[in-house]
A and B are shown apart, each in its own frame.
Chain A
Amino acid sequence: MSALTNAAAEILAQAEPLSAADQKGIAGASGAGMAYGLAAIGPGIGIGYLVGQAVQAMARQPESAGQVQTTMFLGIAFTEALALIGFVVFILLKFV
């Protein structure tokens, strides 16, 4: 065990300290991953629920399928906007 920690300490000692630009890049990349991951949770649940309910409505009343479909696309567009803003934040953090 102590041999292992010694080896680890040696490896750590060999590593050069990170430059400010590297640290910024690492923080940006991990922040970008977190931002998109968190932003995808809510819309994921929302779109799943929305489409499920729309399928149920279409199955119960096939003659209103067209109207339900249009409303479903509208709902998806509004829900999806949050995930897409998360994606834009991802791009801004990662690349800008």
Chain B
Amino acid sequence: MLSALTNPAILLASEEGGGGVEFPPINLIVKWPSAFGEGQWYGFNKIALISLIAMAVPVLLFWLAGRKASLVPTGIQNVMESSIDFVEKQVVLPAIGPDGMRYLPMLVSMFFFIWIGNLFEVIPTAHMPANARMANPVMLAVVAWAMFIGVGVKHHGLRYFKDALFPPGVPKALYLLVTPIEFLSTFLIRPFSLAVRLFANMLAGHILLVTFSVLTITLVAEGILAVVGGLSFAMLVAFTGFEFMVAFLQAFIFSLLTAVYIGGALHPAH
């Protein structure tokens, strides 16, 4: 993998007179061999390592911040308190309301897990977002799905399903049309689009960065086209900054949508 990217001769080996950009096959850029247990359920590859780090880093940061908690926060306590404040002001209060504060811990951990997993897209030597493999977003979406259904059933009992499938104030005959649509959109399309949104955004960003890296290496190796390679390198730098923003935005949107769904289950009137 690395030799293909650092040694341009391999990329250019396939050309027969005239140049050519050899894009690496998709499996080469998203599939990683396991360190142990290849093909088994406990197989441990780069994605699993990044997911573990994404889980451990927030735990470590919040432990460091809360270890010597003081009334006037300093240093790391300040940073972590403002991050909680961000989730509270931007996610919980607009989407659920004041009674949604009990879901704050779950949304904060969701936000941090996704954000740090995404950040590995632009961290050198890693360059692989954990959420560009479908398994991670699917599990997160299943958690969100179980959470909002659980909240609805806990607070409204089985009436939650009745309100969700048969919205009040609709003429009786229209239920033939409305109920299947509501069922599809609430219970099937919601988790599906939640997972696909995160997955496709991160995979698209990853492929974009790989494309510009390959382009830059190929053009610089051509010698005379090195000037154009400089332009492509500038684009690579610009897109790295853009992906830094996307990593944050996707974590924000995922937790915001989870909060909106929980809010919808908590207050079904609107």
Q: Footprint of B on A, CB under 8 Å?
A: 66-67, 70-71, 73-74, 76-78, 80-81, 84-85, 87-88, 91, 94-95
Contact = CB atoms under 8 A, between A and B. Distances in A.
Contacts of B25: 95
A88 B200 contact: yes
B26 A88 contact: no
For A76, A77, A84, the residue with the greatest tally of chain B CB atoms inside 10 Å of its CB is A77
Interface of B: 25-26, 90, 94-95, 193, 196-197, 199-201, 203-204, 249, 252-253, 256-257, 260
For A67, A70, A91, the residue with the greatest tally of chain B CB atoms inside 10 Å of its CB is A70
Leading 8 A-B pairs by shortest Cβ distance: A84-B200, A95-B26, A81-B193, A70-B94, A77-B253, A87-B200, A88-B200, A81-B197
A95 B28 CA distance: 12
Contacts, number: 45
Interface of A is mostly: helix
A70 B197 contact: no
B256 A74 contact: yes
Given A67-B94, A77-B257, A81-B197, 9 more contacts: A70-B94, A71-B94, A73-B252, A73-B256, A78-B193, A80-B197, A81-B196, A84-B201, A91-B203
Given A73-B256, A77-B257, A84 B94 contact: no
